Structure 1
Amino acid sequence: MDPNTALAEIRELIKQYNEIGVWDVHDLRGVVNILIELTDHFHGLDQWLSQGGFLPKEWEWAHSTGRA
């Protein structure tokens, strides 16, 4: 599990969701697919971090001295 890849995928899925005019969509399969993928990536990242895995690079600032 690569937390950097997971975070990038999560951000991309959120971007895709935000680009969809949900109230204009008559076929919600795309939205459901985004939700499923988002859930899978979030779960993987949560498992990784819960088992002591390192933070994604973009989150390392929170772990540095005086930031957390």
Structure 2
Amino acid sequence: MNEKLLSGGFELRLRKAVLLLFSPARSLMLWRRRRSVENRLGALSDHMLKDIAVSRGEIPFVASRDGDWNRFR
């Protein structure tokens, strides 16, 4: 058999295995980051939230958006 064909199949299987291993870890990391942003925004007063144009009801939506998470530190 062709070695290139065999190694290509192995690389594909290895790539899939790595994705399966790291996907749950990435999901957990994103969930923890989202919860952190929700908690930080939830701790702000209504006046401070109004200053950044976010209502209490929008906090989960804002936290779920990909973006610059550090701006809420």
The TM-score, its normalising length taken from structure 2, stands at: 0.37
Higher RCO, 1 vs 2 (CA within 8 Å, ≥6 residues apart): 1
Point out the structure with max Rg over C-alpha. Answer: 2
